[in-house]
Structure 1
Amino acid sequence: MRKTSVDGDGERLTRRRALQGIGGVLGALSFTGTATAEDDWINVVERGADPTGQESINPVLDEIPFDDGTTLYFPEGEYLMDDTVRHVGFRGFDLRGDNATIVPAADYDGQWLFKLGTFDQPGEDLHVEGFDFDFTADDTGLRVLQAQVSDDLLVEDLAVRGEHDSGNKGPFLFDVTDPSGIGTIANVRIPDGGEFSANTPGDINVGPSGIIVTSQHDGKLWVRDCEVGPWPDNGLYCSTDGGRVVVDGGVFKNSNIASIRLSGDYSSIHDATVVVDDRRDRDTNQRGIRLDGGKYNWIENTDIHLTDPTGHAISVLNEVEWARIQNSRVVVDGDTPAKAISVSPNAGKIDIIGTEIEFNSPGQALHVRGPSSADADPVYILKSSVTGSGDGSNGRHAVRIERGNGTFDRFDVEQTGDDYRRGIKVTGDGSTFLWGDLETTHIPLVNDADGTRFRGITARSLGDYEGMKILNESSGVELVECALYNGVLEYGNVDVDYDGNWFL
């Protein structure tokens, strides 16, 4: 195993400084490379590495001095590795492949190929690109790249071919350890996923995750246009508290636990596609997206499609202080009970804006739990809809609002399934519904809360039931300018103020 620690204090031109010097946009992180002395560009084949995959290249790499500014260049070929390359504390290091394929040796029982930086000795200014890693042999798979740097991380155009079926660590781990540091992971492809450890010779708990961002990440990391899944223990797994992760594009499929598991203040997902359309015997909870925690988590312009699901499309957990789901589309198909969007009871403020849910399964398209009091953390839903053929066999109501203090503005619900399928049930106090259209097989709207205000609501039952039911001594309920087909069913001693409604 190669072990190095470079602690030099000399100045060098980092990619960040180069971009700043020419007026580049740092946020875009479009690094074009840093000028490097010719002696620091090292062709590993010219140094004796075998490009045919017959002999290990580790003895050759062990003889190469990894000075600051070194670039290791791998020409096209196949390279056998039987040990770890470990390099920490560096300031400037590149690995560049040109259609280069790395193959782990069949008898290699280690856990890493490239371990570049650690959380207590992070590197700085690291660029890795242009490698395939061959896991097509049986019982193959390990961490091909672990990169922990304080700043300036660029990893692009890497692929793993074949299923990770060794029961060892997952292929990628990335952290930017400095709060002001920044990095980009782009076009990393691990579509063949990994096997559950119970079906492998290894003993890692459950099985590997595809891409891990740990609690040591404190900077900002872009994850761009990656292809991930299916993995036994999360596809993209972010467990940071103070760091930020931004998913930009990409396809994430069929991972257990979650295809994207996100945390960290201001972490977000944009323009991504999440699909769950295949289930293995041990896939017990295949969430599409799981938001774990942070001051502001944002899902935007993202498509999530679940077919015969084992988990929710989007889960918002208790440690999330504020979540926004915007301009996205969620489709849930199949006969298995599910939820499209599930909000845990202690989660903070929730916004759903311009989002379409097509729900063709039993269960709840939207389930918002939380304190029922009128001063609870607010729920705000604007210009969003629930459509589809979901039925009432596993919960009659397509939407359950158990938290108080909600505003539902132009929120439409259409559910055409049988088994007494209903639309919205409100049990949280102090909510307001404005200008929504509701159409369901059974009663579209059920209120079991105090202080609920309805204005401009149209509610019609396809089965000729009442448009609305008010029950259990609900008080302070207001209905203004609503169109309620077949009127309102008042169940019990309720207190309702009617003003300018139409009972059709």
Structure 2
Amino acid sequence: MSEHRGDGSDRIVTRRGVLRGLGGVLAAASFAGTASADKDWLNVVKYGADPTGGESINPVLEELPRDDDTILYFPEGQYLMDDEYRHVGFQGFGLSGDDATIVPDPEYDGRWLFKLGTYNQPGDDLYVEGLDFDFTTDHTGLRAVQAQVSDDLLVQDLEVVGQHDSGKFGPFLFDVTDPSGIGSIENVRIPEGGEFSKYTPSDIDVGPTGIIVSPSHEGKLWVRNCEVGLWPDNGLYCSTDSGRVVVDGGIFKNCNIACIRLSGDYSSIHDATVVVDSHREDDSNQRAIRLDGGAYNWIEDVEIRLSEPNGHAISILNDVEWARIQNTNVTVDGHVPTKAISVSPEAGKIDLINTEIEFNTPGCAFHVKGPSSPDADRVSVLKSSITGSGDGTHGRHAVRIERGNGEFDRFDVKQTGTDYRRAIKILGDGCQFTWGHYYATHIPIVNEADGTTFHGITTRSLDGDEGMKVLEESADVSISESAVYNGVWEYGDVDVTYSDNRFL
């Protein structure tokens, strides 16, 4: 709700929002910020800014008052900027546009447009909304907004038009520096991405990143309904160790390194769509999601589609202490070898729940590395499935379990591809398989581990081979109450216990 005043400025009382908690970790959190205080709105045009794009507005911005609880209002128009606007240590500040477009001067040689707070001089209570940034001119592209605040950050409805092809910093960086601080980034659109630096006038490493959450972030930040695409050095890159980032909705496409690269304790992704359906010559590894580290990372209700794979759908790296993938659909098509889910050897506990993977390309749909010890951090798979026509040309097994102590309950695998395609190979000791269905062109299950137990499973070769192969390196294998088509191939001197099975 706003009040218009006759002296060229406005006063606004903004809404009080409520950021909902996720997964019961944060039941509810109030977003105070701009919502808790009256703001003086300063109409930049009435203070002399040119809305036609003919004259730089930087001299006007530098002369405007920098009192606390102030919002700079940009009416409809185009605004030329040829320098950085920097404001730190504020208590209540904002930028608001009404069909307003910021146009960087092609001759401007800096790296920022709006630098609002720094990691050692953060502001507090920042509101930025309704601005477009025009990067359509050749060799343009800057850090449009860098916002580092201790608490109360609200960013809404920003868009970058055109490709970022200057070789400078990517358009957005957002941090909440206080561990108890909170912020929300909503409806930020950067779909046209950036150019690799080798083709630009400048020389940052690889190329720009779309949205960065830096190591200075220690609070809680929501990223809601954003559109991110075609960035050379990650789409959304969260490099915080202790801060929390929650991605809620949005679409992320065709970024190099990762479309979403997540870290931080209790960081998570919900209801988002991640797509890789094209790549440029320099796109070397386009992972959909990369989990870098955190005490608990959660992927829930996410749709991942790789029709032109150039990297894994989900990579879980060594510094992740616990990750959960739940109610998620992954589809991998094409003819390029890849992995749907890859778990690094030193990653901690992994849960895969109610998740469906359709894997129609060569490679390993689910690859778990790690110590084969029966007391290793557990990988738990519950009510999940892998289907598709992936073949065995670059790895025979759709699932490869190298880590011990795994638990696989109602885990169904069906692979219909050629070249000796198999369902699963077990190399980790002490794994348990219950009530799953395993179908593959060749032998579905190959066990090369000690202490594996199978209970209530069904295993069948679509080409009439044995339902299971137990290699001579195996010991103390137990098969009970299971349906095994064409028997078990005991390769060498093995130790298998059978109980109440059906051999069909």
Q: TM-score range by the shorter chain?
A: over 0.9
Contact 1:299 / 1:328 at 8 angstroms: preserved in 2? yes
Post-superposition CA distance 1:272-304 (Å, at most 9, x none): 000000110000100000000000000000011
1:172-183 equivalent positions in 2, closer than 5 A? 172-183=172-183
1:307 corresponds in structure 2 to 307
1:356 equivalent to 2:376? Answer: no
**CA gap 1:316/1:95 in 2 versus in 1, 3 angstroms:** same
Contact 2:33 / 2:92 at 8 angstroms: preserved in 1? no
2:4 corresponds in structure 1 to none
Amino acid at match of 2:398: A
**CA gap 1:30/1:410 in 2 versus in 1, 3 angstroms:** farther
1:59 corresponds in structure 2 to 59
2:3 corresponds in structure 1 to none
Quote the offset at 1:357 in angstroms. Answer: 0.2
Quote the offset at 1:480 in angstroms. Answer: 0.3
**How many residues matched?**
485
2:399 corresponds in structure 1 to 399
Quote the offset at 1:106 in angstroms. Answer: 1.4
Looking at structure 1, the residues matched to 500 and 424 of structure 2 have their Cα atoms a distance apart, in angstroms, of 22
1:426 equivalent to 2:407? Answer: no
SS at match of 1:27: strand
Amino acid at match of 1:113: L
Looking at structure 2, the residues matched to 26 and 418 of structure 1 have their Cα atoms a distance apart, in angstroms, of 51
2:216 corresponds in structure 1 to 216
Amino acid at match of 2:447: N
Contact 2:33 / 2:125 at 8 angstroms: preserved in 1? no
1:22-41 equivalent positions in 2, closer than 5 A? 27=29, 29=31, 33-36=35-38, 40-41=40-41
Instruction: Give the unaligned 5+ runs of structure 2.
Output: 1-11, 19-26
Amino acid at match of 1:498: Y
Post-superposition CA distance 1:421-458 (Å, at most 9, x none): 00010000001000001111000011000000000110
Post-superposition CA distance 1:305-345 (Å, at most 9, x none): 11121100000000000000000000111100000000000
1:290-305 equivalent positions in 2, closer than 5 A? 290-305=290-305
Contact 1:14 / 1:92 at 8 angstroms: preserved in 2? no
Report the aligned-residue RMSD: 1.6
1:436 equivalent to 2:436? Answer: yes
Contact 1:442 / 1:463 at 8 angstroms: preserved in 2? yes
How does the TM-score come out when normalised to structure 2? 0.94
1:69-468 equivalent positions in 2, closer than 5 A? 69-468=69-468
Contact 2:34 / 2:127 at 8 angstroms: preserved in 1? no
Contact 1:14 / 1:125 at 8 angstroms: preserved in 2? no
Looking at structure 2, the residues matched to 26 and 109 of structure 1 have their Cα atoms a distance apart, in angstroms, of 44
Looking at structure 2, the residues matched to 14 and 276 of structure 1 have their Cα atoms a distance apart, in angstroms, of 42
Amino acid at match of 2:396: R
**CA gap 1:15/1:148 in 2 versus in 1, 3 angstroms:** farther
Looking at structure 2, the residues matched to 59 and 365 of structure 1 have their Cα atoms a distance apart, in angstroms, of 57
| Identical amino acids, percent of aligned pairs | 71
Quote the offset at 1:473 in angstroms. Answer: 3.2
Quote the offset at 1:229 in angstroms. Answer: 1.1
Looking at structure 2, the residues matched to 90 and 310 of structure 1 have their Cα atoms a distance apart, in angstroms, of 44
2:5 corresponds in structure 1 to none
Instruction: Give the unaligned 5+ runs of structure 1.
Output: 1-12
Contact 2:99 / 2:131 at 8 angstroms: preserved in 1? yes
Looking at structure 1, the residues matched to 117 and 248 of structure 2 have their Cα atoms a distance apart, in angstroms, of 25
Looking at structure 2, the residues matched to 403 and 295 of structure 1 have their Cα atoms a distance apart, in angstroms, of 20
Contact 1:324 / 1:350 at 8 angstroms: preserved in 2? yes
Amino acid at match of 2:107: D
Looking at structure 1, the residues matched to 457 and 426 of structure 2 have their Cα atoms a distance apart, in angstroms, of 14
Quote the offset at 1:69 in angstroms. Answer: 0.5
Looking at structure 2, the residues matched to 382 and 14 of structure 1 have their Cα atoms a distance apart, in angstroms, of 49
Amino acid at match of 1:198: K
Looking at structure 1, the residues matched to 390 and 32 of structure 2 have their Cα atoms a distance apart, in angstroms, of 45
Looking at structure 1, the residues matched to 14 and 476 of structure 2 have their Cα atoms a distance apart, in angstroms, of 62
Contact 1:473 / 1:495 at 8 angstroms: preserved in 2? no
Looking at structure 1, the residues matched to 321 and 14 of structure 2 have their Cα atoms a distance apart, in angstroms, of 35
SS at match of 2:279: coil
Looking at structure 1, the residues matched to 167 and 313 of structure 2 have their Cα atoms a distance apart, in angstroms, of 27
Amino acid at match of 2:188: V
Looking at structure 2, the residues matched to 230 and 252 of structure 1 have their Cα atoms a distance apart, in angstroms, of 9
Amino acid at match of 1:321: E
Contact 1:19 / 1:26 at 8 angstroms: preserved in 2? no
SS at match of 2:61: helix
Looking at structure 2, the residues matched to 445 and 298 of structure 1 have their Cα atoms a distance apart, in angstroms, of 29
Quote the offset at 1:29 in angstroms. Answer: 3.9
**CA gap 1:79/1:15 in 2 versus in 1, 3 angstroms:** closer
Looking at structure 2, the residues matched to 47 and 394 of structure 1 have their Cα atoms a distance apart, in angstroms, of 66
Looking at structure 1, the residues matched to 301 and 106 of structure 2 have their Cα atoms a distance apart, in angstroms, of 43
Looking at structure 1, the residues matched to 503 and 272 of structure 2 have their Cα atoms a distance apart, in angstroms, of 44
Looking at structure 2, the residues matched to 33 and 449 of structure 1 have their Cα atoms a distance apart, in angstroms, of 60
Amino acid at match of 2:169: K
Looking at structure 1, the residues matched to 94 and 363 of structure 2 have their Cα atoms a distance apart, in angstroms, of 51
Looking at structure 2, the residues matched to 286 and 133 of structure 1 have their Cα atoms a distance apart, in angstroms, of 26
Amino acid at match of 1:36: D
Quote the offset at 1:36 in angstroms. Answer: 2.5
Quote the offset at 1:34 in angstroms. Answer: 4.5
2:475 corresponds in structure 1 to 475
SS at match of 2:122: coil
Contact 1:317 / 1:347 at 8 angstroms: preserved in 2? yes
Looking at structure 1, the residues matched to 379 and 419 of structure 2 have their Cα atoms a distance apart, in angstroms, of 28
Amino acid at match of 2:147: A
**CA gap 1:26/1:78 in 2 versus in 1, 3 angstroms:** farther
Contact 1:321 / 1:349 at 8 angstroms: preserved in 2? yes
SS at match of 2:364: strand
